[in-house]
Amino acid sequence: MRTRAIYGCAGAQLLPEERSFFRDAQPWGFILFARNIQDRSQVAALVKALRETVDDPSAPVLIDQEGGRVARLKPPHWKARAPAARFGELHVKAPESAREAVYLNARLIAHDLAEIGVNVDCLPVLDVPVEGADQVIGDRAYSHDPSVVIDLGREAIDGLIEGGVLPVMKHIPGHGRATADSHFKLPRVETPAEELSATDFVTFRSLNSCPLGMTAHVIYTEIDPQRPATTSPKVIRDIIRGEIGFDGLLLSDDLSMNALDGPIGHRAKAALFAGCDIVIHCNGKMDEMKEVAAEAKPLESEPLERAQKALSHLAPPEDFDTAAAEARLAELMNA
């Protein structure tokens, strides 16, 4: 039986030790990073090898392909994509053009991913940054205006799904106010809950039908002053599942980020206990993955139902003229 975990691997080819571990651990899926990427044929072979370890030719393989600063597939083998903020700037002048541009951009990203067998993209970023926040989000967000984030986030979700790739909205319930980069330290947000509800949470609430969501390693002191969302039963139960109304598959952000403390196994156990359906461990370190595997129980009951529901959104893309889409996207962005 598959387990409640997603793992990375160390390099561009799967190591014998990794093959053996994945066969035993049976994770729900895998995630790719820049260290795993050389060219199309190599990535496609790696994806195939990962799926063979769990005997599932369509096992979820994730990637962070947002555009801008966060893009694992890069030139010269893949076309560079604009950061989200560029589409938000276009929205100020021409909302219809911005919506079309985001949709086409997402379809083109999905096409790139489908070519190499990747079927889940950690996009869109639905965070709403504020002045003075850490730039870890910055231009990864569409706008400082929640209504624009909702408008464009919806197009990204539709574009990916129609391109045969599952979207993951992040970082639920909101990373935009964080004054620290959660890769390095734990951010604390002290904003009143009412204000969070009207700004940070509203983007996720409005797009809560997205099949997958990824948690924020952020403490919201007015809701749970002790634990970040990823390991907070109160935030997941009352805010993510309750107020936001998200009933999709909830993934943790990377367990190996420094925002979380304690042994990796303890982090995995805490995230799963809090209500994450599946935990993600990204760095490919075998000793840490074994710790996660010791806590990643079989995928069953509600988490299994949510996983199956998420995967039901996967369908082969309809015919799509990529050359025409590239030309139209360039026209919209340069207008």
Give the residue extent of every domain in the chain: 3-30+60-285+322-334
Task: Compute, in degrees rounded to 10, the torsion defined by CA atoms 103, 63, 148, 99.
Answer: -10
Q: So what's the pLDDT on residue 249?
A: 98
Q: So what's the pLDDT on residue 258?
A: 85
Q: So what's the pLDDT on residue 316?
A: 93
Catalytic residue among 224, 253, 254, 277: 253
Residues of the chain with pLDDT under 50: none
Domain 3-30+60-285+322-334 homologous superfamily, CATH: Glycoside hydrolase, family 3, N-terminal domain (3.20.20.300)
The CA distance from 44 to 98, in Å, is 32
Rg (CA), the chain: 19
> For 110-122, what is each residue's pLDDT tens digit?
999 999 999 999 9
Q: Which residues of 281-303 are buried (b: 16+ CB within 10 A; e: fewer)?
A: bbbbeeebbebbbebbeebeeeb
Q: So what's the pLDDT on residue 179?
A: 75
Q: So what's the pLDDT on residue 152?
A: 98
Q: 72: helix, coil or strand?
A: coil
Token pair belonging to 79: 């076309």
- Whether this prediction's pTM lies above 0.95 is answered by yes
Residues for the chain: how many in total?
335
Q: Is 183 a catalytic residue?
A: yes
Q: Which residues, at least 6 apart from 323, have a Cβ–Cβ distance to it below 8 Å?
A: none
> For 153-167, what is each residue's pLDDT tens digit?
999 999 999 999 999
Beta bridge partners of 215: 172
Q: So what's the pLDDT on residue 132?
A: 77
Q: Is 224 a catalytic residue?
A: no
Q: So what's the pLDDT on residue 135?
A: 84
Cβ atoms within 10 Å of 310's Cβ, excluding its own: 23
Q: So what's the pLDDT on residue 85?
A: 97
Residue 108, H or E segment? helix 95-116
Q: So what's the pLDDT on residue 185?
A: 79
Catalytic residue among 24, 39, 183, 261: 183
